[in-house]
Amino acid sequence: MRMTGARGLAPYLLISLAMVAPEAWAYLDPSTGSMILSAIVGVFATAALAVKTFWYKIKGLFRRDAARPGPAPGQPAKAEPGEPPASAD
């Protein structure tokens, strides 16, 4: 689909406006660089924690044998080691 009109022109207009921005006589003190660096480290730490949290779900998306055989319909599930078998009430 081809963008026409104002929607297609907007990215080019924003880029051209950013290229002709006037000079800014601003002072960036040393703590500004430290703040930017800590924000970048925070973004990477957040991304790493998100991947760690959802690792098994992400890994399951790329696994070939995604459909594991479970108990047949009408069959009780196996008890975990150390647990008594489930009673059929």
Is the distance from CB of 76 to CB of 86 less than 8 angstroms? yes
Report domain extents, the chain: 38-62
d(CA 57, CA 63) in angstroms, rounded, equals 10
The pLDDT value recorded for residue 72 is: 62
What does each of the 89 residues of the chain score in pLDDT, given as a tens digit? 565 677 788 888 888 888 887 888 888 888 988 999 999 999 999 999 999 998 888 888 888 764 566 666 666 666 666 666 666 55
Q: Which residue has the tokens 């044998």?
A: 65
CA angle 46, 52, 53 (to 5 degrees): 90
Specify the pTM: 0.41
The pLDDT value recorded for residue 76 is: 65
Q: How far is CA 4 from the centre of its chain?
A: 32
